Structure 1
């Protein structure tokens, strides 16, 4: 898989990146350690060497699993992680009130971009990952209670110390990126984007193209619904948060599955899965640098990687886009 250089850095990442949210277990109905580690090892062995994780994914579990999987392979991988969501302190910016961790303990999650917190989070991530540097360190969500220059100062300090190679943001608006850019040269913005959730196309995509910033996409399969495997009667595991989200409720789940059935013949002609077709379509969109594709096991990893070799003709794109434009959703 040919790598892409993050703008303004010497960090090279794979266009399809292992998204490690699901292996954190939290919001996903749990995750098994051995299977998760094998999935990451499979990704690395097959050329998907970039891994994106975060402390909040399982309250450290995802980073710990990644750390175990990359042990002895650090020179072969690129690690992207995040900061800014804390469950061990209280701030003025509540992110999630009263959730439960993987052991069933109740806690709340807070946003903070305070300098001392950012530096501490970096140290904690380095320890869990078993490494002495992070390739891309991203602010997970903006913290409106902290001056952005303070947060960016922390990134500059960590970069100078060699603990991070590049800094970026996640879930930032165009205006928030512009303000942060006054204090630190951002490499990227990580945002949600999929066939059925395309709000970044209006402002953020043009901004990033014009200002040479990478767009790292998460949830390109809309947390699994665009695989075609999740129907209205799908048996979700306890603790799986997806049924509470709009795309998994009626009439959206039925309409999305109908749309997927309409484009399925294109995938079948290529001997590909719907997920592979959707991933490839997303990579073709203007301004998109990289997709995070989550996986819980080796089979899912192999399927995701197969999307990189897929091609979609101009006529096929027109057919897909036409049917997509007719898709009715209530969000």
Structure 2
């Protein structure tokens, strides 16, 4: 496994980081407790030291699973990355309505983007309790809250840092102007943003800015929620509550095109004794500016395969070959 410094911060992360959205079950059609715990522990056994979670993932369930799984692990040897700013539990709604959804029990919930000062502090306390720890390595705002000044939000984060409850501050889904405002309050260690072979928008502005300012980039959904594994075919049936069914990249025509593209990568993967998914993960962490790829796993086998992508090596010529094949992939709207 490779370990990389997150920007100019004190936190080093594993280049392949365990993404704990899927194990929370929410928007993924459920989760199995035993499998989730084993997935995390298997990742750690393979050298993955960083776990990325969030309160909204299963409305606290993902954080609770992470906390349980790490009880037998030396806390100082792992990095817990969690988030704030997505509230489903407000008695009086505040902020911006992000979505109406259902929790893992099928109960309707309303999720608000809200990062007011008191809310940030409250969320941190709740996360520390669920995670069974007394500090969070990287505390990230989950989505921009357009109803609260960025300065107010990150002054609260700065207080948490001064109290030792968090080590470093990060953002997720921030554009460059938002990054600049947050960075003016306290050093921002990282920006967590979507990035994959079929979602490369960050290369235009965010990557150049983060490279110039030495801010880490955590790439989430590098396998585009599974489609880049090559295991999902046209006509695939998704479980109830799985939002992938309505995603653009999961349209039947796009599934076919993506699988054709992956088929052209398969011979290269085979020469590496690797899966196509491992090749895709390796490509991701080789890209300019990318510090780590957040890859989800719902069971031990998936976790093992993800972690071992770090063992795949790609030459510059092989990266060029992949990029050339990628140029020919066009998705329908």
For normalisation by structure 2, the TM-score amounts to 0.97
Are 2:24 and 1:24 aligned?
Answer: yes
d(CA) in 2 for partners of 1:173, 1:92: 19
SS in 2 for 1:155: helix
Tell me the residue number matched to 1:83.
Answer: 84
Tell me the residue number matched to 1:303.
Answer: 305
1:193 to partner: Cα distance: 0.2
Tell me the residue number matched to 2:63.
Answer: 63
CA displacement 1:151-182 (0-9 Å, x = unmatched): 01011000000000000100000111011112
Tell me the residue number matched to 2:198.
Answer: 196
1:52 to partner: Cα distance: 0.3
Tell me the residue number matched to 1:240.
Answer: 242
d(CA) in 1 for partners of 2:252, 2:69: 39
Task: Count residues in correspondence.
Answer: 330
**Equivalent of residue 117 in structure 1, options 112, 119, 123:** 119
Tell me the residue number matched to 1:187.
Answer: 189
Are 2:7 and 1:4 aligned?
Answer: no
Tell me the residue number matched to 2:216.
Answer: 214
Runs of 5+ consecutive residues of structure 2 not aligned to the other structure: none
d(CA) in 1 for partners of 2:16, 2:322: 21
d(CA) in 2 for partners of 1:293, 1:263: 20
Alignment of 1:1-331 (within 5 A): 1-73=1-73, 74-89=75-90, 90-97=93-100, 99-331=101-333
- Runs of 4+ in structure 1 over 3 Å off: none
Runs of 5+ consecutive residues of structure 1 not aligned to the other structure: none
1:250 to partner: Cα distance: 3.1
CA displacement 1:246-283 (0-9 Å, x = unmatched): 00013211111110111111101111100000000111
For normalisation by structure 1, the TM-score amounts to 0.98
SS in 2 for 1:251: helix
**Contact 2:222 2:281 (C-alpha < 8 Å) held by counterparts:** yes
